[in-house]
Structure 1
């Protein structure tokens, strides 16, 4: 009996980790896939594929290394997709960019020099690029509230109230209220999706490799996934006394990404913020038993992936601004952290500000989105300022 109770503790933590991770960013990933050209079926397929991939990777890594190594989809990467929009070549070009990103992640796992090259990008510039990408998305709830306060206000009130007491549950609470608002709206308008729309469905898309998608989607997606997910994920685990095996972990998540790519999955990586739910003391007083929470998290992710087709159908029937509101509040924490990281070094604040402004502009030049240009301009300005300080000019 005591053994069953002791097992229930990490299992419960794993369920909570999966539910928080999924509901906190589901709307962001869906919006990102739609932004780069996916129709409803393709977006549902991508969600299902990446949900199954990150679930399987979590189970494999946690079981193999007896650590609570949880994986996730790249939420900052999905936010990047929203800001980037469709590249030349549409959805097939985006899928091709996802495949390139997966290959780059795999190469990073096999070739540590590539990881060191990413680490050489100034921290303030990388965080400023992420903050600039997130800023327009975080503004969306404000504009949505102004246009439809009756629909949007309950979501924001729920998020604000829960944020004050149980911050980790704030976004899931907002997502839950949004589903209630949506259910009332669908029932009122008699537009409830058919039961058949809940059937799991994967759709293969032949990738198309284009230069603009490579520069505008693949490279920024790779950098954001590494800088905002994989590297912080390892740091979070280290804070709880776990030394994640870098090469196997990155290889497994990269292979999972690659397998999900033909079905529209954008990227799988190590979990960062949500990782604490499975790796912390609340998951189990005994650190050697917390791997059970990691396996449970992966199992629940797989189950949620199977119902993501129906969730996609429901969410895409939402009133205008509702999905954007949930996505916006889900990204506020990441935006705040990115701003803090970008501006923490006083000597690098101006280059960081330039990077943020360029990324937030959403400007597309030569078919390439603002994220790439922000990173390029930011690195150049950062090095210019550093060189000027050294010469005393």
Structure 2
């Protein structure tokens, strides 16, 4: 406790809060769609939010505390999108079986160490280019949201510029504060009215085992989560120069998925977007003190999960343009750092560019996301350059 109090910083705590805000506000609608596709009623949907919040909160807090690095976990947003289009023909109990099966595959991948060995084969410039491609859309979101809500976003951009020059550590907090105050003033204080107050309630459903669903939905859920979430998540950690062992982290997310699946915790993984917010210089200049952001995110995620529908409604009240602008501004430094790393090596420059473009394009083949194909194609280009440019 003494070491935590010594390392505590306001900027790191706020980085954790911003990560939770963006994590919920940016994709909670997809969770609702996935729950609806699974046949969940209102009570079960609330249980999903609670289980997901609790799972992310506990893993963020305890893994960050154990490794003294900002370990940020998340629900699988691509996995939720997959479920929203794939669960219509099976029962809810079958869906629970699918979640547990995908969690078991994740646990086995972590325990075996296969994932960490594969990640070590990816050159740093290629990995950095892939991460920059993943985050690129969020950077663009600052300016696409400027078109939809010009006065709000322009005020936030101006705040970013001023505070970045005066006190960079508090730039994200300042931008978030200005955005909330502006939105409140514009709505004459009505932004947070009609927010339901109260805790949710867990709903436990025992799984059923449908072989067709396990293979047809469970395996794709596992693949999408590993390629779209865990690969970028590990890259964020490595780009921030954290050498935290990956296999135990993957194992714990898989185990958490297994335990919380009957309550609606369909898939947990390492975060990329929110992890980048908690591991950059804006969180804290000292990398050894950034784990406080992980502890903070864990506390806020747990609180958000227990509050259930109240917190979801609260996050949903924020203007989408504000959320997009905060996310993009919080990630500008990380995007710049990874682009620099990707283009620093002459031999890797063009392969890294290919990786960046493929990843940023968002193309998907066989249900596997662009981050995976960016690494594959960039690796092929790099191998060809090394073989034929000697």
Superposition TM-score, scaled by structure 2 size: 0.72
Give 1:317 deviation, angstroms. 3.3
- More deviation in 155-164 or 293-302? 293-302
Matched, 1:314 2:322: no
SS in 2 for 1:196: coil
For residues 160-309 of structure 1, the aligned pairs below 5 Å read 160-187=161-188, 192-196=192-196, 199-200=199-200, 209-210=216-217, 213-229=221-237, 231=238, 235-236=241-242, 251-259=251-259, 262-264=264-266, 266-268=268-270, 274=278, 298-299=298-299, 301-307=301-307, 309=309
CA–CA separation in structure 2 for the residues paired with 1:25 and 1:224: 18
CA–CA separation in structure 2 for the residues paired with 1:183 and 1:45: 30
Q: Does the aligned pair in 2 maintain the 1:133–1:359 contact within 8 Å?
A: yes
SS in 1 for 2:72: strand
Question: Which residue is equivalent to 2:91?
Answer: none
SS in 2 for 1:159: helix
Question: Which residue is equivalent to 2:383?
Answer: 383
Distance 1:24 1:177, change over 3 A: farther
Q: Deviations over 1:26-78 (max 9, x none)?
A: 32454245457457989976665444334323554577x5x645532259x76
Matched, 1:145 2:153: no
Q: Does the aligned pair in 1 maintain the 2:343–2:349 contact within 8 Å?
A: yes
Q: How many residues align?
A: 363
Give 1:8 deviation, angstroms. 8.5
Give 1:373 deviation, angstroms. 2.5
Which of 44, 54, 57 aligns to 1:55? It is 57
Matched, 1:27 2:28: no
Distance 1:28 1:167, change over 3 A: farther
Q: Deviations over 1:179-207 (max 9, x none)?
A: 2233334447x574534266446678989
Distance 1:304 1:33, change over 3 A: closer
Structure 2 spans left out of the alignment, 5+ residues: 37-41, 89-94, 208-212
CA–CA separation in structure 1 for the residues paired with 2:288 and 2:378: 40
Question: Which residue is equivalent to 1:361?
Answer: 361
- More deviation in 205-214 or 140-149? 205-214
- More deviation in 372-381 or 107-116? 107-116
CA–CA separation in structure 1 for the residues paired with 2:165 and 2:87: 43
Q: Does the aligned pair in 1 maintain the 2:160–2:175 contact within 8 Å?
A: yes
Q: Deviations over 1:327-351 (max 9, x none)?
A: 2222222212221222122211101
Distance 1:301 1:360, change over 3 A: closer
CA–CA separation in structure 2 for the residues paired with 1:102 and 1:160: 43
Distance 1:281 1:263, change over 3 A: closer
Q: Does the aligned pair in 2 maintain the 1:74–1:269 contact within 8 Å?
A: yes
Q: Deviations over 1:58-113 (max 9, x none)?
A: 554577x5x645532259x76xx4xx993475375999998777556534542234
SS in 2 for 1:347: coil
Structure 1 spans left out of the alignment, 5+ residues: 239-243, 284-289
Distance 1:281 1:110, change over 3 A: closer
CA–CA separation in structure 1 for the residues paired with 2:221 and 2:165: 41
CA–CA separation in structure 1 for the residues paired with 2:178 and 2:46: 22
Distance 1:175 1:368, change over 3 A: same
Q: Deviations over 1:105-163 (max 9, x none)?
A: 53454223431222102222222122112212211111221332122222222333333
